[in-house]
């Protein structure tokens, strides 16, 4: 049953998000034509359009995630949703997984678009300049071994996934709490207020943990290491362990509270 839920959620997401991807494909087509026929003005306009659409993809995806969760759980569709032979936890899992996948896709498309724009800009640099840059980088940077590279990539991918899951949990918590009776009269405004308040509180706590917890993961080309310093005391690229643990714990709390609200406190409209 959970598999069917996930399948239906993905279908619902496609209907909401597909138009912005169609627009993106059309603009990318224009960009390809501009490159193929060396039409400079069309290339510039297309690059600007692609950059704007890339940002719009993320915004549309987030709005779609909020709207779909709110409509399917707390509006007329909610009466049908809560009659399904699954627990609130299973409902939450199916919806959260699909939301995670859609947000992940939007980030990947956004990264791909800006990487493509950067690649085009880099291709306009003379070959001699590219060689000089490579020589300069090779003189100041040591090349890490394959194991180190894999470890660093694995950490960044895991951290990236954690941030997306945390965002989904925060959205679901805000939407669920906004449908509890004291906040319900405010409509979507309560969702926005709760989300911004929650975001502000978690950001402050996260900043304090980074500043005062003396345990940090330091990432260098030579590898990753734990240092008993705060992030402010650590040079280079670093991630506070306290902040990572806080994000994990808060994510679980948001999902658990969302599930509890769904079972005990929600008033369907």
* Per-residue pLDDT at 120: 65
Residue 267 has a pLDDT of 60
Contact (CB, 8 A) for 262 and 93: no
* φ, ψ at 142 (rounded to 5°): -85, 145
d(CA 59, CA 52): 11
- The answer on 250 and 131 residing in a single domain is no
pLDDT at 232: 80
Residue 29 and residue 89 in contact, taking contact as beta carbons nearer than 8 Å: no
Q: Are residues 93 and 134 in the same domain?
A: yes
Which residue carries 């759980």 as its tokens?
A: 73
Q: Helices in the chain by DSSP H: which ranges?
A: 2-36, 40-74, 76-81, 88-123, 127-140, 146-178, 181-184, 188-212, 241-264
Residue with the two structure tokens 């070959």: 127
The predicted structure's pLDDT at residue 140: 47
Both 3 and 132 in one domain: the answer is yes
Do 155 and 95 share a structural domain?
Answer: no
What pLDDT does residue 130 have? 55
Number of domains present in the structure of the chain: 2
Whether residues 35 and 111 share a domain: the answer is yes
Mark whether 176 and 225 lie in a shared domain. yes
Of 235, 195, 194, 243, the closest CA to residue 218 belongs to 235
Per-residue pLDDT of the chain (269 residues; tens, 9 = 90+): 677 778 877 877 788 888 888 888 888 888 788 777 778 788 788 878 887 888 888 888 888 888 888 887 777 666 666 677 777 778 888 889 989 998 998 888 888 877 776 776 666 555 555 555 555 555 545 556 667 778 888 889 999 999 999 999 999 999 988 888 777 777 778 888 999 999 999 999 999 998 889 988 888 777 788 888 888 888 778 888 999 999 999 999 999 998 888 877 666 55
The domain in which residue 98 lies consists of 1-141
Q: What is the DSSP letter of 175?
A: H
Among 141, 172, 191, residue at a domain's last position? 141
Cβ neighbours of residue 104 under 8 Å, at least 6 residues apart?
Answer: 161, 164
pLDDT of residue 11: 79
Same-domain status, 154 and 239: yes
3-state percent breakdown (helix, strand, coil) of the chain, nearest 5? 80, 5, 15
Three-state secondary structure call for residue 84: coil
- The residue behind tokens 């706590």 is 205
């Amino acid at each position: 049953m959970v598999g069917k839920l996930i399948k239906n959620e993905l279908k619902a997401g496609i209907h909401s998000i597909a138009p912005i991807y169609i627009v993106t494909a059309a603009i990318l087509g224009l960009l390809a034509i501009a490159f193929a026929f060396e039409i400079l003005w069309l290339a510039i306009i297309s690059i600007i359009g692609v950059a704007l659409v890339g940002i719009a993809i993320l915004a549309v995806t987030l709005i779609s995630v909020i709207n779909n969760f709110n409509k399917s759980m707390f509006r007329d569709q909610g009466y049908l949703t809560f009659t399904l032979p699954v627990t609130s936890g299973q409902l939450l899992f199916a919806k959260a997984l699909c939301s995670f996948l859609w947000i992940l896709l939007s980030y990947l498309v956004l990264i791909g678009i800006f990487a493509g724009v950067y690649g085009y800009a880099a291709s306009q640099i003379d070959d001699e300049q590219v060689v000089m840059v490579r020589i300069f980088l090779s003189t100041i940077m040591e090349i890490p071994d394959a194991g180190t590279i894999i470890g660093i990539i694995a950490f960044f991918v895991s951290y990236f996934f954690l941030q997306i899951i945390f965002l989904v949990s925060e959205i679901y918590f805000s939407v669920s709490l906004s449908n509890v009776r004291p906040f319900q009269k405010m409509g979507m405004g309560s969702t926005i207020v709760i989300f911004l308040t929650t975001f502000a509180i978690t950001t402050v706590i996260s900043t304090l943990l980074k500043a005062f917890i003396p345990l940090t993961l330091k990432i260098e080309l030579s590898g990753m290491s734990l240092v008993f310093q705060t992030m402010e005391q650590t040079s280079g690229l670093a991630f506070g362990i306290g902040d990572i643990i806080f994000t994990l714990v808060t994510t679980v709390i948001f999902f658990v509270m969302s599930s509890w609200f769904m079972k005990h406190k929600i008033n369907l409209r």
